[in-house]
Amino acid sequence: MGTRSILVLGVGNILMSDEGSGVYAVRTLEATYSFSSNVSFLDGGTLGMRLLHPISLAYSLIVADTAILGKAPGTISRLTMDDIRMRTVLKNSMHQISFSETLTMAEMMGILPATTIITIEPVDIETMSVELTPVITGKMNSFCEILLSEILASGGTYKSRNHVLNKAGSF
Amino acid sequence: MARIIIDPVTRIEGHLKIEVEVTNGKVTDAWSSGTLFRGIETILNGRAPDDAWLFTQRLCGVCTYVHGVASVRSVENALSSKIPSNARIVRNLLMGGQYVHDHPVHFYHLHGLDWVDIVSALSADVNETSDLAKSLSPNAPAIDFASIKTRLQNFVSSGQLGIFNGGYWGHSAYLLTPEENLLLASHYLLALRQQLIAAEMHAIFGAKNPHVQSLKVGGVTCKFDITSERISKFRDLLTQMRQFIDTVYIPDVKYVAKKYSSWKSIGGFNNYLCYGDFPLNDAASDLLFPGGYILNKGTSVSNVDLSQITEHVNHSWYSGSALHPSVGQTNPAYDSYNTDSRYSWLKAPRYNGNAMEVGPLARILVAYYKNSSDVVSLVNSLLSDTGLNAAALHSTLGRAAARALETKLIADKMDGWLNGLDPNGEVLTATTVPSTGSSNGYGINEAPRGALGHWIDIQDGKINNYQMVVPSTWNLGPRDSNDVRGPVEQALIGTPVEDASKPLEVLRIVHSYDPCLACAVHVIDAKKDKSYIVKVS
């Protein structure tokens, strides 16, 4: 990635229903549009600290994730580092180093790019399933559109691959 | 007598919860409760066996590759498919990369803060810290301790401890001087940088960072990545990791072991199991880690017979009886959390009826008592440098030291493995799952956290049953049908607890097993509610 590179990073567990919303959004964007060469996409899964390396290479970071903010399911929100910095505490396992911790670690290391986090309020993140719930599936176009506007704002461009948005939430 | 419950509170049920009973300042009983992989069968059953690894590697955010390779091995075993040399070596390099990444992260970023007081580091004399650094490891990278101290101070002064929030800073069980704390806190930051190198290494033959995409039943798919250029890139990154391991990680572990010498007799267990891994030839007749098991802190090693494994459910929230994983069942039957009856989502795996510790210490002890020459010399150097004896390996310190020693062993060996890659060689043996008939198989490996097994039952080309027995089930599982405690439950007994409201000593033991339980969900939570709840009654 060169300078001004934009990393669009989808995070979440695709085996846990809406937990994988961010990953689905990134997959959908990649399948539906072609982007300027400074835009790259990554399915970050739940890898936490392993994402520090790709994060360190980006000039701007746009994260697509699920967030429980107490809003109506499907509500899309825009967060910044100030919103998540204080939500991190010591954990008893690497497996509890969440994505918030990863971003805080990147900040402490001085490698965190300009970061925007676009989140969607889930319906169900507990059922083991590779399908999104219908409410979140219905919101996937809006989720993607907001991510597209962030990509534009960060200096990326895109054009449609000339077919309708894939049905999100299924393999 | 007091009961202490340590429960990381989260939105979902299912993180590790430890309950201990403390009498006269010592742990007298313990219960480990957790959840794991509930319902994976519902996703896998009916799918194509050769796709299973794509799902299993998503089960866990940290142990991705190990679940991928266990899954493809289970199908290869069922179909008697042999993989080419190149594939064997690439898989060894990917698994080795996982160790070299995970173990330093465990020591510095997870376990380290049980020994290192970050807040104490702020009162360190930077010149003395620099002298200490030189005396401890003259060839370690030079560090500007004044600048690190200022960075830490800024973090604390702004009230944003961030990832250091929630620690028991100032606890009397922290024994290091401010200078020692600053040195190790600096290495915490150095190790984070180093981690980027390890992650990059993993991506070379993994095809796509960060999820490995290059596995396939019958071998690997990264044929065009086996070039002299990529091999040399891998070697460059590996060399940087080896320097870090030799000049920072190993000296630090030995130093901590000397400073916390009382922990040589705290937190140990008796029985150890290692499946063996890192095949050094295509017949897999020579393994870097030989398989074997040890009972009662013995010095003799017996061969593993996988048919001796059963999973007990008497104290777990499942119905049914103790079964071998090849015919295992997962029938949830949650009632309530009750330490006198059922209290965990984990099953209790047993080997011939014995609770077994798996992981770095098991691997090192099995190799040591099988006279594996590399391991014998590494262990002997550890013992002479720290003044410990072999009996002291059965402890919390032994576990941390074994993890460091095997990191060095593997990193050093990987350099030679690179020479075995053949850019013109095959990487894949074409393997087709027959569309009719039945077969079954198992895939075992040594994940960084310990012995991992996947068992698959294939009917007419589809998955009929899939069961996994994972390292943390062995180490952190509950009591069995004979009420015998699991390894961590037993290891906790006798641990001194100075302040029941701040059970740092208990966490030291639990962390030494590198628990792998809470891997299912990673959402951002609006509330700052993820700290430990420590209840004392």
- DSSP string covering B381-437: HHHHHHT--GGGGSSHHHHHHHHHHHHHHHHHHHHHHHHT--TTS--B------SSS
pLDDT value of position A109: 86
Catalytic residue among B67, B202, B363, B511: B67
Tell me the nearest-neighbour CA distance from B255 into chain A, angstroms: 23
Report residue B162's pLDDT band, with 50, 70 and 90 as the boundaries: low
Look at residue B63 and tell me if it is in a domain: yes
* Residue B342 appears among annotated catalytic residues: no
Chain B residues whose CB is inside 8 A of the A96 CB are 8, 15, 518, 530
Whether residue A64 is contained in a domain is answered as yes
Q: Pick B530 or B346 by higher pLDDT.
A: B346
Q: Which among B176, B178, B174 has a CA at the least distance from the CA of B127?
A: B178
Pair B101, A52: CB distance under 8 Å? no
DSSP state of A164: P
Please, are residues B310 and B343 in contact by the beta-carbon 8 Å criterion?
no
Is B109 in CB contact (< 8 Å) with chain A?
Answer: yes
Is B274 assigned a catalytic role?
no
The mean pLDDT of A147-161, rounded to a whole number, is 95
Tens of pLDDT, residue by residue over B227-250, are 999 999 999 999 999 999 999 999
Say if A41 falls within a structural domain.
yes
Q: Is the dihedral of CA B520, B524, B529, B530 positive or negative?
A: positive
Given the residues B91, B101, B363, B449, select the one marked as catalytic.
B449
Flag whether pLDDT at B531 surpasses 60: no
CB B309 within 8 A of CB B351: yes
Residues 6+ apart with CB under 8 A from A91: A97, A101, B8, B110, B530
CB-CB neighbors (< 8 A) of A75 in chain B? none
How many domains is chain B partitioned into structurally? 1
Whether A35 is covered by a domain: the verdict is yes
Q: Within an 8 Å CB–CB cutoff, is residue B201 touching chain A? A: no
Task: Please enumerate in sequence order all residues whose Cβ is within 8 A of that of B80, keeping only pairs 6 or more positions apart, or say none.
Answer: none
Find chain B residues with C-beta within 8 A of A94's C-beta. Answer: 62, 102, 105-106, 109-110, 514, 516
* Closest alpha carbon within chain B to A125: B521
Q: Which domain holds residue A111?
A: 6-160
Mean pLDDT rounded to a whole number for chain B: 90
pLDDT in tens, B431-447: 999 999 999 999 999 99
Shortest CA distance from A63: residue in chain B: B524
Write the burial class of residue B461 (CB in 10 Å: 0-12 exposed, 13-18 middle, 19+ buried).
Answer: middle
pLDDT surpasses 90 at A15: no
Residue among A43, A49, A92 minimizing CB distance to B16:
A92
Mean of pLDDT values over A81-104: 62
Alpha helical stretches, state H, A17-162 = 21-32, 52-56, 81-84, 99-109, 134-153
Contacts of A42 in chain B (CB under 8 A): 209-210
Centroid of chain to Cα A72: 19
Query: In B, residues 240-259, which contact A (CB 8 Å cutoff)?
Result: none
Q: CA angle, corner A65, sides to B67 and B529, nearest 5? A: 90
Query: How many other CB atoms sit within 10 Å of the CB of residue B390?
Result: 15
Identify which has the larger pLDDT, A48 or A91: A48
Mean pLDDT lowest among B2-16, B113-127, B325-339: B2-16
ipTM entry: 0.82
Give B193 to chain A, closest Cα distance, Å. Answer: 8
What does the DSSP assignment read for B192-229? HHHHHHHHHHHHHHHSSSSS---EETTEES-GGG-SHH
- Note down the domain range covering B41: 37-494
Does A165 map to a domain? no
pLDDT at B11 over 50: no
Q: Say if CB A81 and CB A27 are below 8 A apart.
A: no
Q: What is the pLDDT of residue B226?
A: 94
* B101, B466 contact by CB (below 8 A): no
The total number of structural domains in chain A stands at 1
Residue B273 CB-density burial (10 A; 0-12 exposed, 13-18 middle, 19+ buried): buried
By the CB < 8 Å criterion, does B156 face chain A?
no
**What residues in A contact B193, CB-CB < 8 Å?**
109
Q: Would an 8 Å CB–CB cutoff place B11 in contact with chain A?
A: yes
| B32 catalytically annotated | no
Q: Quick check: A53 and B189 CB within 8 A? A: no
Give the gap in angstroms from C-alpha B298 to the nearest C-alpha of chain A. Answer: 30
More confident residue, B74 or B346: B74
Pick from B109, B210, B507: which is nearest to A54 by CB?
B210
Q: Which of B58, B192, B511 sits opposite A14 (nearest CB)?
A: B58
Distance CA A19, CA B52 (A): 20
Tell me which residue in B162, B199, B517 faces A52 most closely, judged by beta carbons: B199
The size of chain B, in residues, is 537
Q: Does B61 touch chain A (CB under 8 A)?
A: yes
Confidence of residue B296 (pLDDT cuts 50, 70, 90): very high
Is residue B516 in a domain? no
Instruction: Tally Cβ neighbours within 10 Å of residue B44.
Output: 21
Closest Cβ–Cβ partner in A15, A85, A93 for B160: A85
For residue A100, give Cα distances in angstroms to B263, B474, B526. 33, 30, 11
Find the CATH number of the domain harbouring B154. 1.10.645.10
Average pLDDT over residues B12-30: 79
Q: What is the DSSP string of B445-510?
A: EEETTEEEEEEEEEETTEEEEEEEE-HHHHHH----TT-PPPHHHHHHTT-B-S-TTS-HHHHHHH
For B200, name the nearest residue in chain A, comparing CA atoms only: A53
Domain harbouring A111, CATH code? 3.40.50.1450
B123-134 pLDDT, tens digit each? 999 999 999 999
Of B164, B210, B518, the CB nearest to A95: B518
Instruction: Calculate ∠ Cα A20-A22-A28, nearest 5°.
Output: 100
Q: What is the pLDDT of residue B42?
A: 72
This prediction's pTM: 0.91
Q: Nearest 10 degrees: CA dihedral of B38, B40, B45, B50?
A: -160
Contact A143, A134 (CB under 8 A): no
Confidence of residue B33 (pLDDT cuts 50, 70, 90): confident
A122 in any annotated domain: yes
The pLDDT confidence band at residue B387, using thresholds 50, 70 and 90, is very high
B516 is catalytic: yes
Tokens 């959908």 correspond to A28
Q: How far is B115 from chain A (nearest CA, A)?
A: 14
Does A171 map to a domain?
Answer: no
Find the radius of gyration of the CA atoms of chain B. 23
B517 touches chain A (CB under 8 A): yes
Question: Which range scores top for mean pLDDT: A105-119, B85-99, B104-118?
Answer: B85-99
